[in-house]
Structure 1
Amino acid sequence: MHLYPIKFVPIPKETIWGGNKLESLLSKDFPTNKKIGESWEISGVKDNISLVANGHLKGESLNKLIDKFGSRLLGHKLYEKFGNEFPLLIKFIDADDALSIQVHPDDKLAKKRHNSFGKTEMWYVIDAEKDANLIVGFNQRVDQKLYQQKLKEGNLEDILNTEQVKNGSCYFIPAGRVHAIGKGILLAEIQQNSDITYRMYDWNRVDQQGKSRELHTEMAVDAIDYSLEEEYATPYTSEINKTTSLAQCDYFTTNHLVFDLEIMRDYSLLDSFIIYICLEGEFEICYNNLDRTLVKKGESFLIPAELNNLSLKPKTQASCLEVYI
């Protein structure tokens, strides 16, 4: 049975801080009367397994695809390592209000506490309102004692690093780094296959029933990396019709592509699936010499590992994130 670029049915997540930009800017067909904060584009997370939206495999779950096609889909080394657990989670996030200040455990702690992968992730800002900002890391040298003191006093923000962002801002968030997406930001998130978040502070918010969300302040203490970084944003300059590297780690590699000409992509030495996340414009993925698949802004496609020679043909200028392991 032949494989092709696979699109999945987006999974909407209603949140206390969500908005409507997933519908208005990324053309998601979500309920407009609900605060949809996240669109899970490609997910192997338990109880949130993506279903195929296109082609002859329509309706199949991602896990079934891996069972059926194994290394043809994932690549040999990844299939050996992960079996039928898809290693990444791809999301769009629309923050109409600030998210909680939070941290994710690393692999070791997540395995011990939750029998799960840890959560290293990255953000690419698609749209930022004027003066939008986010929290990432600390703004001074911090130890556990100072952190707990500030948390107790309700002055956690004093020691946190706040950054103003614009369209195209990029951040790599290793497990252990404290962070929070601010109000007015729409972004793409690439992360390990994990849904473990420790909330440290949630702005004293309550839901419609007057309840505050659960905090995990005790669990967070051991998960936090207290080190201070010189720079938290990823500096890069995109060149048209060239590949720009945004992130490289054990868990994923992410590149940025801006192109107005056909570009050839040879993945024959990679032994990994590829994911394209379209940020602007439209382009065709051409494969097997004749076949082609159209990708539009706001769509994410999984390219099976065996389709290792492709060309991307833009309709006009297009930009996308290219993700693989």
Structure 2
Amino acid sequence: MTLYPIKFTPLFKYRIWGGNKLKTVLNKNYTEENIGESWEISDVKGDETLVSEGPLAGKSLRDLIKDFKEEVVGAHVYKTFGEEFPLLIKFIDAKTPLSIQVHPSNEIAKQRHNSFGKNEMWYVMEAEKDAELIVGFNQKVDKASYIKALETGKILEVLNNDTVSKGDTYYIPTGRIHAIGAGVMLAEIQQTSDITYRIYDYDRVDATTGKTRELHTDLAVDVIDYSFDSNYKTNYTIAENATNTLVHSPYFKTNILNIQGDIKKDFTDLDSFVIYICVEGSLDLVCSGKTYTVAKGETIFLPAAINDIVLKASNADVLEVYY
């Protein structure tokens, strides 16, 4: 069988802080309330997304890798990860703030949870007036002063708040304290991991359980990066009809493209799958004479065996992700 550009059926996740923008802005199809996350491409155990259309419909990523191996992910990725897929792609809508949290490194996550760590990045798609993200500390702290701030209820006073707008981008390495604030909708690219250490949750009660959510204070203390930075935001420039570097890390590489017209892409020298996430407008992806439309809030997966495509749009912003 010849592989083709693949869309997956998203998985929708209830969150205590979730809103309705994934439905009203991104046209996601669900009926539940407080949906905070749309998992677009996932190989998390028990939460695998399935191919939505074409001859491979109903298959999971794991199925595809098992059947087609490096044709799906590339020789290097297959050699490194086997049948596991290394990335998880999400859209997130925060009606109220997320908990203050931190993620463990690859080494600690493997040791404690037999999981990948969770290095991730955010691309802000929409932000209400004065909406904020929490990223890192706003002053120098150490383990002792952090614990004191936590115990005395002053943890928010030592955290860095950035007011954000559309297009703002942040790389969140493991160990960096962070939280998405109320009124922010974003695209998240991360390692395949669902390990989060919750540090502070505003003493909220989850209506579905009638209880506060579990905190992971002790687990978090040893993984936090206590260093201070004056700027946590990713600086980048964007030229139209060009591939602009956004975040390149050891775990994934993300570029941003503003497409006005046609862009030809040749991936002959790229030993990886490619994922396109449409964050504004709508684009057509042309492959082997067939056109695949990707609207705002949609994600499409390009198997590594595909080398030549054309991207067409009157005006679209697209994230391009690969390993």
Q: How does 1:1-325 map to 2 (within 5 A)?
A: 1-31=1-31, 33-208=32-207, 209-288=209-288, 290-314=289-313, 316-325=314-323
**Matched letter for residue 60 of structure 1:** K
Which whole-Å CA distance do the structure 2 matches of 1:78 and 1:157 have between them?
40
Tell me which moved more, 124-133 or 53-62. Answer: 53-62
- Give the 3-state SS of the residue equivalent to 1:6 in structure 2: coil
- Give the 3-state SS of the residue equivalent to 2:124 in structure 1: strand
**Matched letter for residue 211 of structure 1:** K
**Matched letter for residue 223 of structure 2:** A
**Matched letter for residue 319 of structure 1:** D
Contact 2:287 2:309 in 1 (8 A): yes
Contact 2:204 2:212 in 1 (8 A): yes
Distance apart, 1:246 and its partner CA:
1.0
TM-score by structure 1 length? 0.98
Identity of aligned pairs, percent? 54
Which whole-Å CA distance do the structure 2 matches of 1:300 and 1:199 have between them?
29
**Matched letter for residue 238 of structure 2:** S
Alignment: residue pair count? 322
**Matched letter for residue 265 of structure 1:** K
Which whole-Å CA distance do the structure 1 matches of 2:307 and 2:78 have between them?
16
Q: For residues 51-92 of structure 1, what are the alpha-carbon distances to aligned partners after superposition, in whole Å with 9 as ceiling and x for unaligned?
A: 000111111111111100110000001011111111000000
Distance apart, 1:219 and its partner CA:
0.1
Which whole-Å CA distance do the structure 2 matches of 1:41 and 1:317 have between them?
23
**Matched letter for residue 187 of structure 2:** A
Which whole-Å CA distance do the structure 1 matches of 2:283 and 2:212 have between them?
44
- Give the 3-state SS of the residue equivalent to 1:148 in structure 2: helix
- Give the 3-state SS of the residue equivalent to 1:227 in structure 2: coil
- Give the 3-state SS of the residue equivalent to 2:261 in structure 1: coil
Distance apart, 1:261 and its partner CA:
1.2
Which whole-Å CA distance do the structure 1 matches of 2:264 and 2:125 have between them?
25
Q: For residues 74-129 of structure 1, what are the alpha-carbon distances to aligned partners after superposition, in whole Å with 9 as ceiling and x for unaligned?
A: 00010111111110000000000000000000001101111111000000000000
Which whole-Å CA distance do the structure 1 matches of 2:26 and 2:275 have between them?
17
**Matched letter for residue 220 of structure 1:** A
Distance apart, 1:230 and its partner CA:
2.5
Distance apart, 1:313 and its partner CA:
1.2
**Matched letter for residue 321 of structure 1:** L
Provide the aligned C-alpha RMSD in A. Answer: 0.8
**Matched letter for residue 8 of structure 2:** F
- Give the 3-state SS of the residue equivalent to 1:161 in structure 2: strand
Which whole-Å CA distance do the structure 1 matches of 2:281 and 2:92 have between them?
19
Contact 2:138 2:230 in 1 (8 A): no
Which whole-Å CA distance do the structure 1 matches of 2:181 and 2:175 have between them?
19
**Matched letter for residue 58 of structure 1:** A
**Matched letter for residue 28 of structure 1:** K
Which whole-Å CA distance do the structure 2 matches of 1:207 and 1:114 have between them?
25
Which whole-Å CA distance do the structure 2 matches of 1:69 and 1:282 have between them?
30
**Matched letter for residue 18 of structure 2:** G
- Give the 3-state SS of the residue equivalent to 2:147 in structure 1: helix
Which whole-Å CA distance do the structure 1 matches of 2:69 and 2:312 have between them?
28
Contact 2:10 2:49 in 1 (8 A): yes
- Give the 3-state SS of the residue equivalent to 2:66 in structure 1: helix
TM-score by structure 2 length? 0.98
Which whole-Å CA distance do the structure 1 matches of 2:239 and 2:300 have between them?
23
Which whole-Å CA distance do the structure 2 matches of 1:82 and 1:219 have between them?
26
Which whole-Å CA distance do the structure 2 matches of 1:129 and 1:242 have between them?
29
Which runs of at least 4 in structure 1 moved beyond 3 Å after TM superposition? Answer: none
- 5+ residue gaps in structure 1? none
Which whole-Å CA distance do the structure 2 matches of 1:93 and 1:156 have between them?
24
Distance apart, 1:318 and its partner CA:
1.0
